Chains A and B, each alone.
Chain A
Amino acid sequence: MAILDIEGLDLRYRTDRGPAEALSEVSLRVERGEAIGIVGESGCGKSTLLKAVMGVMPPNAAITAGAIRFEGRDLVAAGPEAWRRIRWKGVAMIAQSALNALNPVKRVDAQIAEAITTHESRTRAEVEARTRELLALVGVDPGRARDYPHQFSGGMRQRVLIAMALALRPPLLLADEPTTALDVIVQDQIFRRIGALRGELGFAMVLVTHDLALVIENCDRIAVMYGGLVVEEGPVAAIATASCHPYTLGLYNALSRLGQRRQPVSIPGRPPDPLAPPAGCRFAPRCPFAIERCHRERPVMQALSARHAARCLRAAEMNDLRPAAALPETWEGPQP
């Protein structure tokens, strides 16, 4: 059984200008021990999706359809108290703005301990030992457990959050851009640490990032999101070599790869307005391969192989279009 199975999830934000569709028909399966990377432009709904899985949406958000099954049990239907018990014990999360995620007036060890004692009855000594062990695990000197967050550097705080996320050995870890605020060296250290811990503890991971390279290095599968939709999903290798969605191809172009002479090519235009998404394919207004049908018809997820699917009307033709997508000229075409 999949550890996490999201099916047909719709989520809306109430805003002053009307409902904003932040997630539509999002389906995603995460198997035990698997790592999935979620990529997509800013505002496409990545954080919204992870928070929805945690069940900590802001008060103006509402799940209007779909299921979030954790180990087979639908949390949306199970209600807030059941969901609360799953949080951290079953699925933990490293939030996006990790630098402000620690409470400034509480000691670091107390904040880790709190996560443990909420879910498990342990003696004080056990909790203390566990806290120190966790800090050592992520490479923070356990002697500093009684410090306050402001006494830690950004990288250390990040490690504390990872330690905290692993406190109950959850089978699933959600990581929302866990290293964006850090320099490349620290980022590298942290990912190596996460990789090692995953090898040791075997938890599944959903990694949200803007950085395709990180996904390629750390994940088994990729889900590409655009305007609140998952537009393509598949194994990292399949997506890298045989992507079947123009947006994914564009993202790859935008990524500057080492050892490559070519300048990165960005996708022109702006992401869709969640208050008034385009009627047809949401990417059509920016898509160099859009045909008239694309502006009318909403594409559905099309299976291309057992584990690879794309939400594009022309997915089947993509083998022929792919070479053109690699050319910068294609993306400079006459677009709105």
Chain B
Amino acid sequence: MTAYVLRRLAYMAITLFAMITLMFFMFRLLPGDPTATVISPALDEGAREAMRRRFGLDQPLLTQYLAYLRNLTVLDFGLSFRTSAPAWEMIELRLVNTLLLILPSMIAAYAIGAFGGALIAWHRGGKAEASVVLFATAMQSAPLFWLSMLAILVFSILLGWFPTGHIVTPGRFPGPSWRMYLTADFLHHLALPFLVNTLYQLCFPLLLMRSTMLSTIGEDYVELARMKGLTERRVLYGHAMRNSLLPLATTLPMILGWAVAGSVVIETVFSWPGLGLLMIEAISGSDYPVVQGAFLLIAVLTILGTFVADLLYGLLDPRITYR
């Protein structure tokens, strides 16, 4: 087990290093001069040259790469091209906003999805099951941005129940402040994107859980549990659902990817100042330091998530041995 964890950590380090390297060269191979946004071509040749030297852009690529690596070790992604603030600081601020929206939403989606799927499979064959499955399938195949816009149209514009976007009413908190998160206004703004994302993301675990449960219910150990005189609740939660969680756990790494993709879409449509929106802004503004930082962060989170999922799976299924 310890050997396994150590080896996995080593692999993770290698993956991460490959990502970092890839990112460095990818951005430099992109068409167009990334420095054009900061070093205006309108400046005269001498001034441009001076700026290039100041940013180290006159150095050979390898030297630049080594400098990039050195800076990464202290989480220095450089200064944003647009705001001149340190890129990492911008990312940090936005990360909190994203986590506050996406993390609870994904947890809720998976909890509701797992329980819901288990329950409809347990009470299979009814009208309720058919309608839930139909609804989930339809939801799952609808594009998230479209659902988000539909939700805004119906609940914000027509019914006026929720604000159309932003994290708090614009102007209430001019500077960044953690007190913002303690207001009812924040929760009010959080509600709709949270609901839309949760509803959208719960379809996959729900349908997966249902189909796993349907086969688990027929297993001999479920019958034995019932024969032992366990109450139906204990058969359901202690045996049928417990075992059906295994396939769901294997999908954890995928889920992380969807969470990221979902956050980009949701934040864009709801103008939620999170990491996803920051990325969109940074990409469209060619703000490379910020883009790089955000990409790296997502890569690290995904790699870590996969690792945690692997360990979690081993905890859930004793038949898995780590070698």
Chain A residues with a Cβ under 8 A of chain B: 51, 54, 56, 59, 84-89, 92-93, 95, 97-98, 100-107, 114-115, 118-119, 148, 150, 161, 164
Contacts and interface: CB of A to CB of B under 8 A. Distances in A.
B227 A105 contact: no
Contact of B319 (A85, A86, A102, A148): A148
A80 to B, nearest CB: 9
Given A86-B229, A87-B228, A88-B228, 5 more contacts: A89-B229, A102-B221, A104-B221, A104-B319, A118-B231
Contacts of A105: 242-243, 246, 316-319
Contacts, number: 73
A234 B31 CA distance: 91
B50 interface: no
- Do most interface residues of chain A lie in helix, strand or loop, or is the interface mixed? mixed
Interface string B109-128: 00000000000000011000
A258 to B, nearest CB: 33
Given A102-B221, A103-B239, A118 B317 contact: no
Give the size range of B's interface with the partner.
Answer: 20 to 34
| Among B124, B220, B234, B246, residue most surrounded by chain A Cβ atoms (within 10 Å) | B220
B223 interface: yes
Given A101-B220, A105-B317, A118 B229 contact: yes
Contacts of A51: 223
B124 to A, nearest CB: 8
B246 to A, nearest CB: 8
Interface of B: 124-125, 219-221, 223-231, 234, 238-239, 242-243, 246, 316-319
B225 A95 contact: no
Given A95-B220, A97-B220, A101-B220, A87 B316 contact: no
Nearest to A99: B220
Contacts of B125: 59
| Among A85, A86, A105, A107, residue most surrounded by chain B Cβ atoms (within 10 Å) | A105
Contact of B227 (A95, A97, A104): A95
B226 A103 contact: no
Given A59-B125, A104-B221, A105-B242, A87 B227 contact: yes
16 contacts: A51-B223, A59-B125, A88-B228, A88-B229, A95-B224, A100-B220, A101-B220, A103-B221, A104-B317, A104-B318, A114-B230, A118-B230, A118-B231, A118-B234, A148-B318, A150-B319
- Do most interface residues of chain B lie in helix, strand or loop, or is the interface mixed? helix
A95 B243 CA distance: 20
Nearest 9 A/B pairs, CB to CB: A87-B229, A103-B221, A100-B220, A115-B228, A88-B229, A148-B318, A101-B220, A101-B224, A88-B228
Nearest to A58: B218
A230 B301 CA distance: 65
Nearest to A147: B318
Contacts of B225: 103, 114
Contacts of B319: 104-105, 148, 150
Nearest to B246: A105
A92 B227 CA distance: 7
A161 B226 CA distance: 14
A98 B224 CA distance: 9
Contacts of A119: 229
A107 B316 CA distance: 12
| Among B229, B318, B319, residue most surrounded by chain A Cβ atoms (within 10 Å) | B229
A95 B223 contact: yes
Contacts of B223: 51, 56, 95, 101
A238 B64 CA distance: 97
A101 B229 contact: no
A118 B229 CA distance: 7
A101 B228 CA distance: 12
B228 A102 contact: no
Given A148-B319, A150-B319, A100 B221 contact: yes
Contacts of A86: 229
A56 B317 contact: no
Contacts of A103: 221, 224-225, 239, 243
Contacts of A148: 318-319
A88 B316 CA distance: 28
A104 B229 contact: no
A10 B311 CA distance: 51
A56 B124 CA distance: 17
Nearest to A164: B228
A71 to B, nearest CB: 16
A161 B220 CA distance: 12
A231 B246 CA distance: 46
A4 to B, nearest CB: 15
A106 B219 CA distance: 14
Contacts of B224: 95, 101-103, 161
A86 B243 CA distance: 26
A104 B243 contact: yes
A119 B227 CA distance: 12
A115 B230 CA distance: 7
Given A101-B221, A104-B243, A118-B234, A84 B317 contact: no
A246 B179 CA distance: 89
